[in-house]
Structures are given as C-alpha cells and as structure tokens.
Amino acid sequence: MRAVLLDDVPRNVAGDGTTSDRIAARVRWTDHDGFAHTDKALVDSGLKAGARTVVWTDGRDEITAEPPTPMDASVEAGALATVAALAFTGIAFGAGTLARCRLDRRRIDQWARTGTRSARGGATRPGGTRRVAGPNRTSTRVVPPS
C-alpha cells in the first residue's frame, strides 16, 4: 500500500547492530475500504515528512513484513524440504535399528533357551542348523538334536 511519512526520518548513522539503513517512523495509509490508518513502519533513512513510501499490510490492515522474493521463498522451501527429508530418514533409520535390536535379542534368547550344542561344541541355530566351513565356506548342514 502507498503510505505517507508523517515525520522526518534522520539519516541512519551506522552503529553497532545496524543491518540496514531503514528506520521505524510513523506513516499513514488508506486501506481498500477508505479507512485511514496510522502506525510505525520501517522506511528508508533520510526521508522528509510527506514523502511517499510503500508499506505491506496483512488481512487485518496491520503493517507486516514484506513478502519474500520468489528466490528467497525457493531457498527457504528447499531448506525446509531438506530438513523434513533428513528428519524422516532419521525416524525411519531409528525405527529399523530398534526393530533389528529387538529381533536380535529375541533370537539370542531363543538360542539360549534351546541350549543345543553342535558336535564341535558351538551353539546351533534354532531348528538345529549350524554354519560350518565347507568347500565353499558357506554350506549349512543339519545337526540332529541331542
């Protein structure tokens, strides 16, 4: 919206913590319904009373920040999408790790309950199978229960 500056705005003297040359000053503008509003808005420094400036208003005709440019909005959307993807990946990885740990514990408990031993003295898998070193080093044979 177009607004009129009500007071002179001094030149901004760069100091500690200043990030721009904009200063809060009183402005007046008329909304779409014809009602006049007065509030403080950030305006360029060095302007005189009566100068025209642009202010951004929300749905309640209150001054708000300028909307982001398409580039700023794209960067922000990309950053938020990356954070969301990483969060989802972390949750999925955590759930998989938790499931694997619980299944491992259940399998170890089952091995402890069976108490079967192989001919070589090692514990067998549930069902009596055990991995042994064969010609291809991955063969599996059935060990009869004792």
> Could you say which residues of the chain have pLDDT below 50?
118-119
Q: CA 37 to CA 55: how far, in whole Å?
A: 12
Domain ranges, residue 108? 71-117
Q: 82 and 42: one domain? A: no
Q: pLDDT value at position 44? A: 83
Q: pLDDT value at position 75? A: 97
Q: Is residue 123 part of a domain?
A: no
45 neighbors 21 (Cβ within 8 angstroms): yes
Q: CA 128 to CA 137: how far, in whole Å?
A: 19
Q: CA 33 to CA 124: how far, in whole Å?
A: 84
Domain count, the chain: 2
Q: Rounded to the nearest 5°, which phi and psi values hold at 38?
A: -130, 130
Q: CA 82 to CA 79: how far, in whole Å?
A: 5
Q: Is residue 36 part of a domain?
A: yes
